[in-house]
Amino acid sequence: MKEVNTMKDVEFMTAEEKQLVLKQWQTFITNRCQLKHFTKRIYDHLNLHCSFIAHFNLQGFYSTYFEHPRNTIRFLTQFSRIRGTVSIEYGNTYWLKGDFEDLNTAMCEVVEKVYNDYVQDLAQTEKEADVQEALRLLEKHGYEAVARPKPMKQIVLL
């Protein structure tokens, strides 16, 4: 994590305030984006300095990005260098330039450490929820799902 002295004071945020955002961000991300760790400081920074559109409140932002695995994956891609760190709402990388480049880059570094494992877990959670919903809908309409093993792949040797 970047040290306070590597962050720069800017007109609307001191280096110490940036460090507080980063510390809370690290807690939020490493705890898998739990609501209890989503602080007003994080919410305000995301809305004001990370190219996210304004939401009416913290809870609205949280429900948009963190209540469904697919949306959380989409959110995390903005902070992934592998995915280009492109704003998911504006399609640009302006949020990584200027006064908050130091903090926003450090936020990407935090996400990069957990990105692959976290996204895999989220994808698995989404898959399980989709299967349960499919089964529920089948049952609702009077159908029964029958599990069949997948056919084995055949290799033809010539």
Whole-angstrom Cα Rg for the chain: 20
DSSP label of 109: H
Residues found in the chain: 158
Residue position matching structure tokens 């976290």: 118
Low-confidence stretches of the chain (pLDDT < 70) are 1-5, 149, 152-158
Q: Locate the domains of the chain by residue range.
A: 4-140
> What's the confidence (pLDDT) of residue 82?
86
Structure tokens at 26: 């690290």
State pLDDT tens for residues 65-108. Answer: 999 999 999 999 999 998 899 999 999 999 999 999 999 999 99
> What's the confidence (pLDDT) of residue 51?
95
Structure tokens at 2: 């970047």
> What's the confidence (pLDDT) of residue 115?
96
Burial track 49-69 (b if 16+ CB lie within 10 A, e otherwise): bbbbeebeebeebbeebbeeb
> What's the confidence (pLDDT) of residue 4?
45
Structure tokens at 15: 């280096």
Structure tokens at 33: 């984006």
